[in-house]
Amino acid sequence: METRSNRPDITTPMSSDRAVWLNGGQAPCETLPGTPKEVQRLVLLGAPGVGKGTQADLLHQWCGACHLSTGDIFRAAKGLPPGERTPAIERALSFMTRGELVPDETVLALVRERIRCLRCTGGFLLDGFPRTVAQAEHLDRLLKAEDLPLSAVIDYELPMDKIVERLAGRRVCASCKSVFHVTEELSSPETCPQCGGKLYQREDDRPEAVRVRMKAYHLSTEPLIEFYRRRGLLLAISAEGTPHEIFQRTLDALALRHALPNPAPPFSTSGH
Ligand code: AMP
């Protein structure tokens, strides 16, 4: 049981509005992150529903780096009037609704357009990208060219039956975007306890789409675990327990990694 006193200490050193990441192009971020003592450039891996987004938000509050989710780019695009969506985005959204991966070239074009977020002095927390070996190789080349080594790659691990249970019960607030689970104590299953907004189930959390997403994860994303292990960047973290317990494990693993010499050069390009 989690109490206030056993929660890890989170300060809010900086904040950022992610306008560049969500909107691309020349959109300016109004709140820029400061320069932390130690810049964190992290990739968060793990099956859909394992809690990467929640951990990214906690990590953001801890170190100030922006939470960069490629899924959020597509969800932001979904909110645009159809006339403002590019044909590439329209096509991407149809893959997303079915639970399939969006083709690499579309995702990579969106990330290249947002290179300023990778260069950000506040670091970054990549969530949902890379998701295929081709995307990871591309990111590797991009970061190498920019001389921006990754700090670590965190793989959140949870048994498949628990993941499916989390996804099926996940509800999102349409207004403040907070995420809840139907088993939480909600005074109404349809109303956000934080802002009173309407709770809904993501289209891709419905059972048909969840099956497709899990297949895509096994086929395309799981190989990234080995890809990053070989580069000496992987930290495997159990995603059992409360968000703050998982977060504390993450901080412990990062601290330990920092205390030990790096087992492999961050930009090893040999074998994968
Ligand atoms: P997420 O919120 O990360 O689970 O992403 C939601 C959906 O967006 C995924 O099921 C895919 O359809 C699409 N998507 C997000 N990121 C990627 C990516 N890196 N590569 C391919 N498709 C992606």
> Does 131 participate in catalysis according to the annotation?
yes
DSSP letter string, 43-74? EEE--TTSSHHHHHHHHHHHH--EEEEHHHHH
pLDDT tens digit sequence for 131-159: 999 999 999 999 999 999 999 999 999 99
Residue of minimum CA distance from atom 19 in ligand 1: 129
DSSP letter string, 214-272? HHHIIIIITHHHHHHHHTT-EEEEE--S-HHHHHHHHHHHHHHHHHSPPSS-TT--S--
CA of 263 to the centre of ligand 1 (A): 30
Residue spans in the chain of domains classed CATH 3.40.50.300: 39-156+209-259
Work out which ligand 1 atom sits closest to the CA atom of 74: 8
pLDDT of the chain, 272 residues: tens digit per residue:
343 334 444 433 334 567 788 877 676 776 666 677 789 999 999 999 899 999 999 999 999 899 999 999 998 888 888 888 888 889 899 999 888 999 999 999 999 989 999 999 899 999 999 999 999 999 999 999 999 999 999 999 999 888 988 898 999 999 988 888 888 877 888 999 989 999 999 988 998 888 899 999 999 999 999 999 999 999 999 999 999 999 999 999 999 988 765 444 433 333 33
Work out which ligand 1 atom sits closest to the CA atom of 209: 10
| Secondary-structure class of domain 39-156+209-259 per CATH | alpha beta
Q: Residue 31 has what pLDDT?
A: 67
Pocket of ligand 1 contains residue 98 by CB under 6 Å:
no
> Does 170 participate in catalysis according to the annotation?
yes
Work out which ligand 1 atom sits closest to the CA atom of 131: 19
Pocket of ligand 1 contains residue 267 by CB under 6 Å:
no
> Does 141 participate in catalysis according to the annotation?
no
Q: Which of 70, 105, 112, 218 to mutate to test ligand 1, by most ligand atoms within 8 A of the CB atom?
A: 70
CA distance readout (Å), 129 to 76, 138, 176, 248 = 16, 11, 23, 23
Pocket of ligand 1 contains residue 154 by CB under 6 Å:
no
CA of 97 to the centre of ligand 1 (A): 10
CA of 103 to the centre of ligand 1 (A): 10
